[in-house]
Amino acid sequence: MHTSNSFSCIKCCVMLLNLFFVISGIIITSLGVYLKVFYYCYEPFVHEQYLYAPDFLIILGVIILLISFIGCCGIITQNSCASLIFTTFLVLILFFEMGLGLAGYIMKEETKDYLQERLPATMAKYTTSADIRLAWDTLQNTFNCCGAKSPRDWEKVNLTIPNSCYGYSINGTKSLLHEDGCIETFGNFVRQHSNYIEVSGLIFSMIQLLVIISSCLLTSEYRKGYETV
């Protein structure tokens, strides 16, 4: 039986940090679902790796929740084996997150170049593909942009400027034409949200590192307790 103040303190810290870990798992899973829905709307424009990223986040979030459950079981039952498994998986996930973060950073830097290639290439298919037409209309309505770099891009592919390039007044009549190109506005949006995810991931990794250290100390205390029995 452990009665030392240090053991109780470590145990409380691990429980508290594991609670944050559970919340992080829920947030990551929710973020993955949101991004999956978001990028699905713009599938013709985004790199296929962006379409896979939400799946990785959903899987990672579910794994984190399962590992948190193992950690809770180890703390409640004071089982050193469960705590060791919990710590090992935490370390593996931390390395996986580092690789995922590096891949995300590289993809973010390549976003503008990829959009400069994909957006002009899909404009000519606006009238022949329902999916591309829906994606372009959604993009231009959501981000108040028009064309790849400017509204004149539609004229370059021998098409009239779509209605989605215009803002509408309360009575439903066309108002101002969106002058900004979608490469800039959509690219800035993707990069900005990538920055938010990177900062959140850094904070999450720091919490996870604290959980790993606390869990190692707790496992050590368990083993000391068994040795003194």
Q: Where are the domains of the chain?
A: 5-111+196-228, 114-183
Contacts 24+ apart (CB under 8 A), 220-224: 221/2, 221/4, 221/6, 221/7, 221/10, 222/2, 222/78, 222/79, 222/80, 222/83, 223/80
**pLDDT tens digits for 117-133?**
888 989 989 989 998 99
Superfamily of domain 114-183: Tetraspanin (1.10.1450.10)
- The C-alpha R_g of the chain, in whole angstroms, comes to 25
Angle at 47 (CA atoms; ends 43, 50), nearest 5 degrees: 80
Please, which pLDDT band fits residue 4 given cuts at 50, 70 and 90?
low
pTM of the model: 0.69
**Residue 196: closest CA among 115, 122, 108:** 108
- Amino acid residing at 123: M
**pLDDT tens digits for 194-207?**
777 777 777 777 87
- E strands, the chain, where? 166-168, 174-177
Strand-pair partners of 166: 177
